[in-house]
Amino acid sequence: MRSRINLYFISFLALGMIAAVIIAAAVFYGVLNGEGKDYGEALFEMIIVVILVFAILCYAGVKFCRRIISPIEKLSDIIRKEDVVYDEIEPEYRELSTLMDTIKMQHKGIIDNADMRQQFTANVTHELKTPLTAITGYSELIENGMASGEDVRRFAGEIRKNSMRLLTLINDIIRLSELDMVEENEEYDDVDLYEVADTCLNMLQFNADKNNVSLKLNGEHSVVRGDKVMIEEVVYNLCDNAIRYNIKEGKVEVSVRENDDSVILSVKDTGIGIPKEHQNRIFERFYRVDKSRSKEKGGTGLGLAIVKHILARHNAEIYIASEEGKGTEMIIIFNKNNGEQYQ
């Protein structure tokens, strides 16, 4: 930046020198021909004129370059601060506030992404380490002959359970990585949301019976534009959570309805509910409301993050209505033409 300003300054001075010489030559010519002065006196006056003109142009050039550099340096100093106070910007530089907002937003985005990656790496390391530690410990006991009879069977079961947890975690991480890569010009098809919900509930019926939870589907056949596999993944994850974190003899009710410009999917349960202070964070990666309960239920903490990513790619919105101890309702609003986000 400074090198370019210096180049402009040098060019400005060069043009100034040329202008000064031309003006001085004109004065010199006029003096010799108009007033009849001798050559020495005319030359002296010409030198004085050149010096004055050159000095004026140098001063103007310095002021011009400072005028360009000063607001940029001021902007750089302000951006380094944690919070921007517009009163700190000199009035003649207020026009840079829009540029400053853009740069600050980009800078904050870079920092947030870096923090998120660091936190994600730490969480992945912890989540992978837990089942691997269990697998290593139980297998070592069997290998050293420290387990026999029924213990071998129990340890093998623990190894299998932690292996499945590890596999699920790895699959979810890979899935999130795939969703992070935004594909341009995605081709979507017509998807019957009611049929998708019916299929997912049929797949989850065994889990529901095992947990003494009843499933119910209401609504009508409604078509949205989207990727069928992704939408199935969303519905499956929400229904699976509703079953997993429900109470004994609980209920899960799924409904599909539509209005003029949107299709609304609701997954409602009679489960444990989500405390209000946690509701804004449940879509974060690896975030768990109750870590002990989540590990007991076998969750990875990535299911709702996957749901959020998929819905973002479909310009759909998700809302949560939950009360601790009384259940949770997840409401998804799809725009029928997959255009602008639903307002």
CATH number of the domain residue 194 falls in: 3.30.565.10
Residues 174 and 213 occupy one common structural domain: no
DSSP 35-100: I---HHHHHHHHHHHHHHHHHHHHHHHHHHHHHHHHHHHHHHHHHTSSS--GGGS-GGGGGGHHHH
275 has a pLDDT exceeding 70 = yes
Task: From 15, 45, 80, give the residue that closes a domain.
Answer: 80
Asked which of 182-186, 278-282, 286-290 is least confident by mean pLDDT, the reply is 182-186
Asked which of 128-132, 208-212, 319-323 is least confident by mean pLDDT, the reply is 128-132
Residues 309 and 171 occupy one common structural domain: no
The model's pLDDT over 61-89, given as tens digits with 9 standing for 90+, comes to: 667 766 667 767 766 666 666 555 545 55
Task: From 145, 180, 215, give the residue that closes a domain.
Answer: 180
DSSP 220-289: ---EEEE-HHHHHHHHHHHHHHHHHT--TT-EEEEEEEE-SSEEEEEEEE-SS---GGGTTTTTSTT--S
Instruction: For residue 86, tell me if it sits in a domain.
Output: no
Q: How far apart are CA 125 and CA 292, in angstroms?
A: 18
Instruction: For residue 340, tell me if it sits in a domain.
Output: no
The answer to whether the beta carbons of residues 304 and 289 sit under 8 Å apart is no
Residues 304 and 323 occupy one common structural domain: yes
Instruction: For residue 90, tell me if it sits in a domain.
Output: no
* Mean residue pLDDT across the chain: 76
Residues 207 and 308 occupy one common structural domain: yes
Residues 262 and 214 occupy one common structural domain: yes
Identify the three-state secondary structure at position 321: strand
The CA dihedral of 170, 172, 174, 176, to the nearest 10 degrees, is -150
Phi and psi, residue 215, nearest 5°: -115, 145
Q: Number of folded domains in the chain?
A: 3
Residues 322 and 237 occupy one common structural domain: yes
Instruction: For residue 288, tell me if it sits in a domain.
Output: yes
Residues 124 and 174 occupy one common structural domain: yes
Instruction: For residue 292, tell me if it sits in a domain.
Output: yes
The answer to whether the beta carbons of residues 274 and 261 sit under 8 Å apart is no
Residues 195 and 330 occupy one common structural domain: yes
Instruction: For residue 93, tell me if it sits in a domain.
Output: no
Instruction: For residue 343, tell me if it sits in a domain.
Output: no
Using 50, 70 and 90 to split pLDDT, how confident is the model at 161? confident
Residues 159 and 202 occupy one common structural domain: no
20 has a pLDDT exceeding 70 = no
Instruction: For residue 214, tell me if it sits in a domain.
Output: yes
pLDDT of residue 265: 94
Distances in Å between the Cα of 223 and the Cα atoms of 50, 140, 250, 308, 329 are 82, 54, 30, 20, 22
Residues 122 and 53 occupy one common structural domain: no
pLDDT of residue 339: 44
Residues 326 and 193 occupy one common structural domain: yes
* Of the candidates 184, 189, 195, the residue with the CA atom closest to the CA atom of residue 219: 195
Write out the residue range of the structural domain in which residue 48 sits: 2-80
324 has a pLDDT exceeding 70 = yes
pLDDT of residue 281: 82
Q: How far apart are CA 152 and CA 141, in angstroms?
A: 9
Task: From 114, 146, 180, give the residue that closes a domain.
Answer: 180
Residues 238 and 321 occupy one common structural domain: yes
The model's pLDDT over 99-143, given as tens digits with 9 standing for 90+, comes to: 667 777 777 777 777 776 776 677 677 677 878 888 888 888 888
